[in-house]
Amino acid sequence: MSSDDKLYTKDGNDGQLYDQPLTAHYPGLVERLPFRDITTLGDLPRRDLSAIQRICDHDANFTEVISVVIVSDPCADPSDQQCALTLRSVLGQCYRTIELILPEQFAYLASRDRVPNGIELTSYPMDPNSASKSFQTASSLAKAELIVPLRLGDRLAVDALYRLKAAEIADQLAPFFYSDIVSEDENHRLHSPLWHSNWDWILMAQTDATKGMLGLRRRALSAIRSQEWLFEFDSTEKVVTYRDLCWSLALKLSTDYSYSEPCHIAHLSYIETTDGISTRTDTLRPRRMLDHTEKKASEQGPMHEIIRQYISSLGLDLSIEKHPDGQRYTLISSSEFNPRISIVIPNRDGPGLLANALDSILNTNYRNLQIIIVDDASVDSETYKLYDLLLSKRSQVKVEVIETKEPTFNYSRLINLGRKRVDGEYMVTMNNDVELISRDTLDLITGLASLPKTGVVGTRLLYEDLTIQHVGVALGINRFAGHYMNGIHMDKRASDDIARNVHRASATTGALQLFRTDVFDAVGGYDEEQFPVAFNDVDFCLRVGELGLEVLIDTRPIVFHYEGKTRGNEHGNHYRFNSWVREEAAFAQRWGGKLISDPFYPRIRETLLSWQSNQQS
């Protein structure tokens, strides 16, 4: 038998790791699975398992009990094989001290295996129609401070509870912990690894961005038990699915301000079985025609009310509506906010591009505008004809043109020059090759900018083929900073669905940024000395972040960016290339400590390479 046909398991007698075929534990129920599919998930080298085991055996910090609660999802129908693997993944943990709380109906599966020393079994009466009610019953039996819900059919990686305990030791104030996740098909092939970001409060209002292993603090959980709206089970309009249970708990626990932010465990610790699993809540209801009133009531289901209360607890002027796909919600920001917006557009020739950009601005619904064009030594006569036309044309929108004769291109200086003419409460930087397709683009991003903690708002930018040019800038990509999800279709569901949901980021491109003018002044504008061409927008966002303000990426409007059509490739010119190298060095010197891992797009390069390497081995 090859090593790939074996699984590391724990021996109840000597407490050591040993190789034993999985079929020895569940004869007739399961097939032999590759080693890495059960244990490492491509995120943990096999040689590290013994080191983890030694820590769990000899470090007193890893002796406290962790309660694992097995919960059945009424919308899921896992096979006996999948149920057996769920239990087996708990019994095979590197972590030694576990309280396994499982439904009475499945206790016989655990009895088929030799239960290792240190694992205590407790059974409870499961409710077949509600994951929430089952969890409420089971968690009331838990003795441990850390409680881990686990859906029947899913599995934990062999090091999952070790990772959880290590995170809990490092962060004593988090209300809960959440891990990364990977999916598995019916042939036991792992696919779609999902690495979460650090806690993102606005993303959580639209989709569950903590999907994976949850480690809940019992103290925090006890504090919300008295709020019965979370645990009402008298109809299918209440929280019943495992997905909504975990999402609800994450939202509610995160608003307990006696704790810090929830803590992300950057490891693939949870295996989601996708075969035979459905998360559609309408499978619980008869398929019949609904009248308008009943349909509206079904849309305003339990999760809608829970998210509404979550947003209200944050004191935000936002509302939500259910997306047609039924799996997420769309944010609706205030439309009554109508401040003066000044749009600064650097331009050099390209009259066609500039005219297109201006037309798209004037075609929006927003009218309280000032447009400032900062010309960078244009030579095309058609460009000046366009300027003359704009200045002579009577319009509700004020247009100004600033002409410069700078010897070298300095984007930051152009933006700072434009700021001197700004009279708006809000300021926008916009490239001349950007086109606003959605008429409500400015309304949407201004609504987000009005939120108390918002410093900068950017948008998702698309190429003409509807693939993504920009949906946020991550630190550490290409050693310094770069666009993530570049070239992926706008409807691609990956990375917590951030291509389709409003989310936080470390930075956004200056091709389209909106911020309060006083925030721009507070950080001293763009740095024209260190970053005349590159990294100026990222540097600006990072300095705004040091004020305690956030960068948000709005994915609701459709915006095109015809990237690079004005200046071309930065590396194609010797002077520009040398300038780029100098700015890379300056960026690394100023922000080097932040380039190791981006909090909103963490360790994606290293983990993805590790994943691919292990899958190919």
pLDDT at 300: 64
pLDDT at 612: 54
Which of 596, 441, 597, 457 is closest to 520 using CA atoms? 457
Instruction: Tell me the pLDDT tens digit for each residue of 30-64.
Output: 333 333 334 445 455 667 778 888 898 889 999 99
pLDDT at 21 over 80: no
- The pair phi, psi for residue 534, each rounded to 5°, is -115, 155
Confidence of residue 615 (pLDDT cuts 50, 70, 90): low
pLDDT at 616: 52
Which position has the higher pLDDT, 106 or 33? 106
Poorest-pLDDT segment among 126-135, 144-153, 225-234, 311-320: 225-234
pLDDT at 125 over 80: yes
Order the strands of the 454-459 sheet from edge to edge. Answer: 398-404, 369-376, 341-347, 426-430, 512-516, 454-459, 550-554, 503-505
pLDDT at 68 over 60: yes
State mean pLDDT over 219-229: 71
Q: Which CATH superfamily is domain 45-273 in?
A: Spore Coat Polysaccharide Biosynthesis Protein SpsA; Chain A (3.90.550.10)
pLDDT at 507: 97
Same CATH fold assignment for domains 45-273 and 341-605: yes
Confidence of residue 118 (pLDDT cuts 50, 70, 90): confident
State mean pLDDT over 13-24: 35
pLDDT at 112: 66
Encoded tokens for 26: 């569940």
CA distance 244 to 94: 29
Instruction: Tell me the pLDDT tens digit for each residue of 369-415.
Output: 999 999 998 899 999 999 998 888 776 788 999 999 877 889 999 99
pLDDT at 513: 98
398 Cβ contact partners less than 8 Å away, ≥ 6 residues apart: 369, 370, 371
Which of 154, 159, 187 is closest to 93 using CA atoms? 159
Conformational region of residue 88, where left means phi above 0, alpha means psi within -120 to 50, and beta covers everything else: alpha
CA distance 513 to 431: 10
Instruction: Tell me the pLDDT tens digit for each residue of 483-517.
Output: 988 898 898 777 788 999 999 999 999 999 999 99
The answer to whether 434 and 361 have CB atoms below 8 angstroms apart is no
State mean pLDDT over 576-604: 82
123 Cβ contact partners less than 8 Å away, ≥ 6 residues apart: 101, 102, 103, 104, 107
pLDDT at 73 over 70: yes
**First-to-last CA distance in the chain?**
18
SS3 readout for 316-332? CCEEEEECCCCCCEEEE
State mean pLDDT over 548-574: 76
Instruction: Tell me the pLDDT tens digit for each residue of 271-284.
Output: 998 765 544 433 33
Rg value, the chain, Cα: 27
576 Cβ contact partners less than 8 Å away, ≥ 6 residues apart: 533, 570
Encoded tokens for 379: 């030579």
Please give the distance of CA 570 from its chain centroid, rounded to a whole number: 31
According to DSSP, the β-strands at 119-124 and 98-103 are parallel
Which of 195, 308, 334, 197 is closest to 251 using CA atoms? 308
Encoded tokens for 222: 């006890």
CA distance 459 to 553: 5
Report domain extents, the chain.
45-273, 288-333, 341-605
Pick the CATH number of 341-605 from 1.20.58.1610, 3.90.550.10, 1.10.10.10, 3.40.50.80: 3.90.550.10
State mean pLDDT over 318-328: 86
Instruction: Tell me the pLDDT tens digit for each residue of 243-272.
Output: 999 999 999 999 988 899 999 998 889 999
Instruction: Tell me the pLDDT tens digit for each residue of 522-556.
Output: 999 999 999 999 999 999 999 999 999 999 999 99
User: 266 in helix, strand or coil?
Assistant: strand
Count of C-beta atoms within a 10 Å radius of residue 482: 13
pLDDT at 391: 87
397 Cβ contact partners less than 8 Å away, ≥ 6 residues apart: 361, 362, 367, 369, 370, 371
Confidence of residue 78 (pLDDT cuts 50, 70, 90): confident
Average pLDDT of the chain? 82
pLDDT at 564: 61
